[in-house]
Amino acid sequence: MRHRTTAKRNAGRTITRRKFLGVTAGATAALSLGTFIRSGLGAARINVLTWSNTLNAMDDTLREQAKQYTKEKGVEVGFEFINQTDLPTKTAAAVESGAGPDIITLWSDGPHLHDKALIDVGDVAEPLGKDLKGWTNIAKDIAIVGKTWKAVPWGIIPICITYRSDWCKEVGYARFPDTYEEMLAMGKKLKDKGHPMGFALGRAIGDGNQSHYPMLWAFGGHECKADGKTVDINTPQTAKAVDYVRQLFKETETEDVLSWDDSSNNRAFLAEQVSVTGNASSIYWAEKKNAPQLRDVTDHALWPKGPAGRFGYSTAISLGIFRFSKVQKEAKAFISWLMHPKQYSAWIGVGEGMMAGLLNFYEDDPVWKKDPKLEVIREIPKYVRMPGYPGPPTRHAAESMVKYVVVNMFARACRGMSTADTVKQAESELKEIYSKA
């Protein structure tokens, strides 16, 4: 009797093939239905691929804003944050395979490099310009290819001079010098006191290029003419820039700059090994946590003026929409919403100078009033140019930048090569690049 009961119970527990198939099919159907309902009965989802900001708070704000957008508009937005250096690879993969995110964050010349894969976003950029006091010139240079807006300029990572105000005062400079000649004079005094300056001359794709293109332009040198095709580096102006950088290196800088990557100057500044460097406000921000005693004696300044004027080169980021996206209309609406002062101010507000807007409206953003040491950053977009200047930021200009043609021209001079030889070598490298279709 007992045996029979147990057998009955076991029979109830036995999983037959039919039962297994039935349960599996039911579970699959339930899961699919759940996913379908969760996605708002087939509502759109926008996938955004972007860089992981040095300041996590900025990414957190974007995540919150995405949730807010879903609540307000019923459209789900998913941000994927990846390392800045992985963006080119991911972008290339998406462009080549015709699949991937709907919105992509494009680095400086990205809209020009990938223009064929991007849709026209003029209907987002033009109204934004009208409503928010117009776009800066650099925004148009970055995002307009031919006559078409291929991306919406999201902002720049403003690169400025970061310096030790106490050491500069010690050698007689209450304010940071306004010209390169004065900076050289101050740098000599600083180095004599054991506080060398440092501008990356190694393979620092950001800091190396961003420090030395402005110096080339400030002395009147260019890698090409305004047509964006004719190489124009071998000029007396370039030679003057090379002579200046060599003198700056020998008389004011630490030799270590020849090996610096993008993070080296941050470390050196925080370790009180250098007095002046070219960087975003990330050093100032990092001091909050790692070296609070340095916050009071760290300040920012614009790049100095040279004989040809004041220039800067800051990495720009833009938002483009891929042709293959199935939610182009929704993606445009989201970008437009994201650029609206309510969202944009909140985002750059937590950034504390790590990001500056390219719409003139944001020059008066409250973030610049938060801290007097950040106020100077608001002016940077006015002076920013892109590699290829005075021509457009073309594929050739991008290639010369990733091959460090300009930085290496200066680095060779600092290592002892004659001005004529190093400029000639840069010219030959540029001709090789610009001869391509």
Q: Which residues bind other proteins (CB under 8 A)?
A: 88-89, 92, 95-96, 113-114, 116-117, 201-203, 205, 255-261, 264, 267-268, 271, 273, 395, 398-399, 402-404, 408, 411-412, 415, 425, 428-429, 432, 436-437
Shortest Å, Cβ 255 to other proteins: 7
Q: How many CB atoms lie within 10 A of CB 307?
A: 14
Q: Is 311 exposed, middle or buried (0-12, 13-18, 19+ CB in 10 A)?
A: buried
In the complex with other proteins, the residue whose CB is nearer, 208 or 353, is: 208
Shortest Å, Cβ 426 to other proteins: 11
Shortest Å, Cβ 114 to other proteins: 6
In the complex with other proteins, the residue whose CB is nearer, 180 or 404, is: 404
Q: Phi and psi (nearest 5°) for 88?
A: -55, -40
In the complex with other proteins, the residue whose CB is nearer, 88 or 220, is: 88
Shortest Å, Cβ 116 to other proteins: 5
In the complex with other proteins, the residue whose CB is nearer, 113 or 301, is: 113
Q: Phi and psi (nearest 5°) for 133?
A: 65, 20
Shortest Å, Cβ 252 to other proteins: 17
- Among candidate residues 353, 339, 357, the one with its CA nearest the CA of residue 136: 357
Shortest Å, Cβ 273 to other proteins: 6
What gap in Å lies between CA 377 and CA 394, rounded to an integer?
27
In the complex with other proteins, the residue whose CB is nearer, 116 or 342, is: 116
CB 55 within 8 A of CB 350: yes
Shortest Å, Cβ 413 to other proteins: 11
Chain-centre distance for alpha carbon 91:
15
Helix spans in 16-164 (H):
17-38, 56-73, 87-97, 110-113, 122-131, 137-143
In the complex with other proteins, the residue whose CB is nearer, 188 or 395, is: 395
Residue keyed to tokens 């009147």: 220
**Helices 405-414, 207-218: crossing angle, 10 deg rounding:** 80
Greatest Cα pair distance in the chain:
109
In the complex with other proteins, the residue whose CB is nearer, 114 or 373, is: 114
In the complex with other proteins, the residue whose CB is nearer, 21 or 271, is: 271
Q: Which helix (H) or strand (E) holds 157?
A: strand 152-157
What gap in Å lies between CA 253 and CA 274, rounded to an integer?
8
- Among candidate residues 42, 34, 44, 41, the one with its CA nearest the CA of residue 75: 44
Measured CA to CA in angstroms, residue 372 lies from 10, 132, 349, 413 at distances of 78, 24, 14, 38
In the complex with other proteins, the residue whose CB is nearer, 113 or 128, is: 113
In a 3-state reduction of DSSP, which class is residue 180? helix
In the complex with other proteins, the residue whose CB is nearer, 106 or 374, is: 106
Shortest Å, Cβ 100 to other proteins: 12
Shortest Å, Cβ 9 to other proteins: 33
CB 161 within 8 A of CB 179: no
Sequence-distant (6+) residues with CB within 8 A of 16 are none
Shortest Å, Cβ 323 to other proteins: 9
| Eight-state DSSP code of residue 53 | -
In the complex with other proteins, the residue whose CB is nearer, 204 or 280, is: 204
Q: Phi and psi (nearest 5°) for 390?
A: -85, 5
- Among candidate residues 423, 334, 408, the one with its CA nearest the CA of residue 69: 334
Amino acid at 58: M
Shortest Å, Cβ 20 to other proteins: 26
